Every structure is written in structure tokens, then in C-alpha cells.
Amino acid sequence: MKKTDIEALFNMTRYFLYVQITVLGNMHKKTPKNGVFLFYNK
């Protein structure tokens, strides 16, 4: 793999995680830490 491929993959993964955490955070606004906790335990 080229360095650019690794960087692109990393950016996609980071963006996906950001979206997931944001969505769960909005779903659990009273307990945002809970949302992230549930996401990592799936």
C-alpha cells in the first residue's frame, strides 16, 4: 500500500467514527458518555 492509501483509509475511518459518535451523542443527549460507551461495546 502507498502512503496516500493509508492516509485515505485513516481519514475515512476517522470520519466514520466521528459520524457514529455524533449520531449516538444526539440520541443520548442526556448521557453523551453513555452513547460513546455503547458504540465501543457493540
Collapsed DSSP state (helix, strand, coil) of residue 2: coil
Q: Domain limits of the chain?
A: 3-40
Q: Are 12 and 20 in contact (CB under 8 A)?
A: no
Buried b (16+ CB within 10 A) or exposed e, 15-37: eeeeeeeeebbeebeeeeeebbe
Greater pLDDT, 1 or 29 = 1
Q: What is the pLDDT of residues 2-42, one digit of tens each?
A: 889 989 999 999 999 898 888 877 766 655 555 555 555 44
Distance CA 20, CA 13 (A): 11
pLDDT of residue 29: 60
pTM score: 0.47
